[in-house]
């Protein structure tokens, strides 16, 4: 379920929870995140890609700070964003195409702007490639907005972290339909520190929730081509903790997501309206 760097997280590099921030830390000119995720199933915006066999999803995100205002009264920061995301499958979608397990290879680039202390806006272009030729590659443009309400409901609560994502397909269709579509996603991701500041092994619980909507021709029902508005709702619970025996800022996470699918995505999922997805992953920030 990760794939967030192209749908939500890349809208703005997620702000650290209140309890993880350090005002004394100097902003780096170049920062990034490497992640490796192993979900039990892979759905992209409610559309099933694979739900059998081993799924491995590595990713790399880079942010280059090109401008930062020295005015504390009107803070402004601009980052150029670059990244790549991949999905390797041992199930049926990895067995087709000559036995090649490399199902997806994505590239993206964009720019993000942090302003007014808590707001972030970003625009990106992404190309979704298919190395094993089991589907047609596609391109899209994404614009997103997020608000960091960290600390508004207590020091140990990172706020609701609301976000909005708008995406427009430029080439190809994510649903395999007849027309390029537009998409809107609304989400929140509250998180809470479960252990005290002096805990030897801190744990953080996050509860991400997102709703995906097709604005125009994004969720076309396979049986009759009808354009459906509601694509999915996704509710998750993710537990994360630092990995102390690895050098650097490594973190491990484990979670579960429940997907509620609309009529088009339900049909794409073999008639199942609900999908349970477990996940495990590690990441490193640098």
Digit-coded pLDDT (tens) for 200-228: 899 999 999 999 999 999 999 999 889 99
CA distance 286 to 284: 7
Q: Is 142 helix (H, G, I), strand (E, B) or coil?
A: strand
What are the C-alpha distances in Å from 138 to residues 19, 123, 282?
Answer: 39, 17, 28
Higher pLDDT, 19 or 277: 277
CA distance linking residue 122 with residue 173, whole number of Å: 22
Dist. CA 9–CA 146, nearest whole Å: 10
**CB count in 10 Å sphere of residue 247:** 7
Output the pLDDT for position 71: 79
Choices 2.40.160.40, 3.40.50.1240, 3.30.413.10, 2.40.128.20: CATH for 4-285: 2.40.160.40
As a whole number of angstroms, the distance between CA 61 and CA 77 comes to: 18
Show me where the domains of the chain are located: 4-285
Q: Could you read off the pLDDT of 44-98 as tens digits, one per residue?
A: 999 999 999 999 999 999 999 999 998 777 789 999 999 999 999 998 888 765 5
| pTM, two decimal places | 0.89
For 103-161, how does the pLDDT look when each residue is reduced to its tens digit (9 = 90+)? 999 999 999 999 988 999 999 999 999 999 888 899 999 999 999 998 777 676 788 99
Burial degree of 137 (CB within 10 A; 0-12, 13-18, 19+): middle
Distance CA 24, CA 27 (A): 9
Q: How many Cβ atoms sit within 10 Å of the Cβ of residue 144?
A: 24
Question: H or E element: which one contains 92?
Answer: helix 92-95
For residue 270, what are its two tokens?
Answer: 């073999």
SS3 labels along 104-136: EEEEEEEEEEEECCCEEEEEEEEEEECCCCCCC
Q: What is the spatial distance between Cα 263 and Cα 254, in angstroms, rounded to a whole number? A: 29
Q: Please, what's the largest Cα pairwise distance for the chain?
A: 58
Q: Is the pLDDT of residue 1 over 80?
A: no
Give the pLDDT of residue 13.
41
């Amino acid at each position: 379920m990760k794939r967030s760097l192209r749908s939500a997280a890349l809208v703005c590099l997620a702000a650290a929870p209140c309890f993880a921030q350090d005002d004394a830390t100097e902003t780096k000119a170049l920062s990034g995140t490497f992640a490796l995720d192993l979900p039990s199933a892979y759905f992209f915006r409610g559309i099933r890609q694979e739900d059998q066999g081993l799924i491995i999803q590595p990713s790399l995100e880079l942010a280059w700070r090109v401008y930062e205002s020295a005015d504390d009264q009107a803070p402004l920061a601009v980052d150029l964003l670059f990244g790549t995301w991949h999905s390797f499958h041992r199930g049926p979608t990895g067995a087709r195409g000559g036995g090649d397990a490399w199902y997806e290879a994505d590239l993206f680039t964009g720019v993000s702007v942090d302003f007014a202390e808590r707001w972030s806006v970003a625009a990106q272009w992404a190309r979704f490639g298919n190395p094993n030729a089991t589907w047609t590659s596609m391109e899209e443009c994404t614009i997103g907005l997020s608000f960091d309400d960290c600390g508004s409901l207590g020091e140990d609560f990172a706020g609701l972290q609301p976000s909005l994502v708008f995406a427009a397909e430029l080439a190809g269709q994510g649903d395999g339909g007849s027309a390029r579509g537009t998409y809107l996603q609304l989400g929140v991701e509250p998180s809470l520190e479960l252990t005290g500041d002096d805990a030897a092994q801190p744990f953080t619980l996050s509860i991400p929730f997102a709703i995906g909507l097709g604005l125009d021709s994004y969720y076309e029902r396979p049986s009759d081509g009808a354009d459906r508005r509601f694509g999915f709702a996704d509710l998750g619970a993710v537990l994360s903790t630092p990995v102390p025996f690895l050098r650097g800022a490594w973190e491990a996470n484990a979670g579960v997501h429940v997907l509620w699918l609309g009529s088009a995505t339900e049909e794409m999922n073999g008639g199942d309206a609900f999908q349970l997805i477990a996940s495990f992953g590690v990441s490193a920030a640098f």
